[in-house]
Each structure stands twice: as C-alpha cells, then as structure tokens.
Amino acid sequence: MNRSTHVAPIAALHARNTGLGEAAAPREPRLQASVKKVATILDYSERFVRELCTRGELETNDRAGRGLRIYLDSVAAYQQRNRSVP
C-alpha cells in the first residue's frame, strides 16, 4: 500500500469522527507569550513560571524558535484552577 492510499482513509475517518468534513476551516493559531511576559501577568518570578512549565501546569511551545513560549489559554486555565474564592 503506498502512502497516498493509506493517508486518505485516515483523513476521512478523522473528518467523520470529528464531524468537520473534508473542507473544515483551519484552526486559528494559539496566542503565545514569553516567560517574562507571563511572569508579569501572573505576578510571579520568571523562575517560578519556568517551574510551572516543567510541572505541566502551563502548556508551552518549545518549537517556536524564540526561546520558551507559553500558550496564553493555558495561563487563563491556570488562573481559573488556582483562583481563591473569598
């Protein structure tokens, strides 16, 4: 089986299982920020932000080519998980 006949059924299964169809719109890119910017947003040290990334509390993009980049939606999710209720 060559590659083209193998890939097409997988794409069709994905489209059927997700309900998106073959002409699904591409997803918008996720917004990212540097460790320094996220440290400012959370009012934490850069070292602690890196520790949160290591623990998996914040989701990162290591392939950005500009150092460690953190997805802003994961920062918002972290804030929701760790907010204090008065």
- The C-alpha atoms of residue 25 and residue 44 are separated, in whole angstroms, by 37
Please tell me the distance from the alpha carbon of residue 51 to that of residue 39, in angstroms, as a whole number: 11
* 31-86 CATH pick, 3.30.1460, 1.10.10, 2.30.30, 3.30.460: 1.10.10
Q: What are the structure tokens assigned to 84, written together?
A: 């204090």
- Which residues on neighbouring strands pair with residue 80, listed in sequence order? none
Q: What pLDDT is attached to residue 13?
A: 46
Kindly give the confidence (pLDDT) of every residue in the chain, 86 residues in length, as a single tens digit, with 9 standing for 90 and above. 454 444 445 455 445 555 555 556 678 889 999 999 999 999 999 999 999 999 999 999 877 566 899 999 999 999 999 987 76
**Residue 73: what pLDDT?**
96
Q: Tell me, what's the pLDDT at 38?
A: 97
Query: Which pLDDT value is given to residue 8?
Result: 46
pTM, two decimal places: 0.64
Helix, strand, coil tally for the chain in percent (to 5): 50, 10, 40
Domain range annotation of the chain: 31-86
